[in-house]
Structures are given as structure tokens and as C-alpha cells.
Amino acid sequence: MKIIILGAGGHAKVVLHTLQCAGMEVAALTDNDRSRSGRSVGGVPVLFEDDALRAHPAGTVLLANGVGLRDSTEPRRKVYERFKALGYSFAKVTAPDAHLAPDAIVAEGAEILTRAVLHPCASVGENAVVNTGAIVEHDCVVGAHAFIGPGAILCGGVKVGAGSFICSGAVVVPELTVGDGCLVAAGAVVTRDLPAGARAAGVPARPK
Ligand SMILES: CC(C)(COP(=O)(O)OP(=O)(O)OC[C@H]1O[C@@H](n2cnc3c(N)ncnc32)[C@H](O)[C@@H]1OP(=O)(O)O)[C@@H](O)C(=O)NCCC(=O)NCCS
């Protein structure tokens, strides 16, 4: 089935490239500003969102979430939930050069990008992202809508709650729990559990 990518910015470009590397056919990207539609990205047309979805009703295409983020996963969650409520299904996006253990679990809409690693018994929830080169070690649980930034490392047995953002290059040491909706800044090393909604930065990570 063809895929439509929601969004046409930086993350959407990466999702497009990943799908193309995996040999999947992307019909269009979308923009919810009509004035920015009509161009193309990577040879694929950018359509006004309403037009794209009128032409491709639920059941005729799969969607992929191309919405990126600066400091919150909320925009990605909202887009995913809006289109699920309209009856659409989301593709699992897995780069051909990502390494997935045979028993790693990847839920609907999750995106596992180039050179990411999911080791045995790791699981990644709906609409979550494991970005370029990130490592999700054995027995980790990444919650729905969470975003594991490029090069971040979740050591064995770590749990990351729904909607949390582990920024680029951060490390969470083994067996810790990062609650729902947390933000761990780039380069931080998390050495204690974080409660829901915590923002932490630095080495060792402290509230920010
Ligand atoms: C965590 C982050 C989102 C914070 O953004 P923010 O709240 O807008 O932070 P600001 O830039 O306003 O900085 C606020 C303070 O935090 C500090 N800070 C910001 N990022 C930091 C980091 N990664 N580590 C330590 N301190 C940091 C700033 O120096 C500043 O300190 P000051 O008040 O003493 O001057 C951002 O800094 C970050 O780490 N971004 C990486 C995002 C990423 O990995 N994206 C990948 C997507 S593919």
C-alpha cells in the first residue's frame, strides 16, 4: 500500500528517505498551509493536507508521521491521534540498516531510523521514534509517542514513559524509569528515576 507522510519539514525528509531506502512507495507529503504546497521534496509532491486526504481516504493508504519536534512530543501525538480517530492506520517505519533483535517489538506507527539498535526483548510503543544511531538495549520499554533522539543510549531494562523526549546523545543508566512526559536534554546522563513531567539536563542529570 502507498504511504502518505504527514508533514514536509526536516523529520518528514528523514522519514521519506528511510521509506525510500526500504523500497516503499511514498505518494505524497502533506502541508497544512496551502501556500506551501505544490513543491516537491526528494522527488515526491507536497500536497495541501486536506486535498491529499480527500484523494486518499482511510483504508486506501498508510500514513507515516513526519512531524518533528523542538522540545515536546505533543505535536506528534496530536497528529497521530487525530488521524487514528479518522480511521487511518500508520506504517511501521524501519530503516533497512537498523538492527532489530528478532523478539524486539515495534508498535504501529513507530519509526526506527538508520543504524538504530533494538536489542532482545526491547519494545517500542505506538508512534514512538528511535532516531538515527540510538541504542535501545535489552528489555527496555519505550512508551507510546516517546522520542529517543539521535545517538541516545537507553541501557538495559530502562523504561521511558509515554511522550517523553530523550534528546540527542543522552544516556539513561540501567534499570531506571523515566516517567511520562519527561524531557532529558542533549548529552545528559540520567542516574536516578525521573518522575512524570520532569525536565533534566547535565552529567549527572539534574532538574532543569
Ligand atoms: C533540552 C532542550 C530542548 C532545552 O531547550 P530549552 O528549554 O529551550 O532551553 P534553552 O535553550 O532556553 O536553555 C535554557 C538553559 O538550559 C541550558 N541547556 C539547554 N540545553 C542544555 C543541555 N542539553 N544540557 C545542559 N544545559 C542545557 C541552557 O544553557 C540554558 O542555561 P542558562 O539558563 O544557564 O543560560 C535543548 O537544549 C536540547 O537539549 N535540545 C536537543 C534536541 C534534540 O536532541 N533534538 C533532536 C531532534 S532530531
Residue 207, burial from CB neighbour count under 10 angstroms (0-12, 13-18, 19+): exposed
Residue range 3-85 in CATH 3.40.50.20: yes
Per-residue pLDDT of the chain (208 residues; tens, 9 = 90+): 999 999 999 999 999 999 999 999 999 999 999 998 999 999 999 999 999 999 999 999 999 999 999 999 999 999 999 999 999 999 999 999 999 999 999 999 999 999 999 999 999 999 999 999 999 999 999 999 999 999 999 999 999 999 999 999 999 999 999 999 999 999 999 999 999 999 999 999 999 8
pLDDT value at residue 36: 87
Domain extents in the chain: 3-85, 92-200
CA distance 181 to 165: 7
Look at the domain 92-200 and name its fold: UDP N-Acetylglucosamine Acyltransferase; domain 1 (2.160.10)
132-138 contact pairs (CB < 8 A, 24+) = 132/14, 136/104, 137/174, 138/101
Cα(157) to centroid(ligand 1), Å: 26
CA distance 26 to 45: 9
DSSP structural state of residue 90: B
138 is catalytic: yes
* CA-closest residue to ligand 1 atom 42: 167
Q: Of the candidates 79, 58, 110, 60, which has an alpha carbon nearest to the alpha carbon of residue 9?
A: 79
pLDDT value at residue 55: 93
Say if CB 118 and CB 137 are below 8 A apart: no
Q: For the chain, what is the total number of helices (H) and then of strands (E)?
A: 3, 24
Q: Do domains 3-85 and 92-200 have the same CATH topology?
A: no
CA distance 6 to 15: 10
Cα(168) to centroid(ligand 1), Å: 11
pTM score of the predicted model = 0.97
Cα(206) to centroid(ligand 1), Å: 13
* CA-closest residue to ligand 1 atom 43: 167
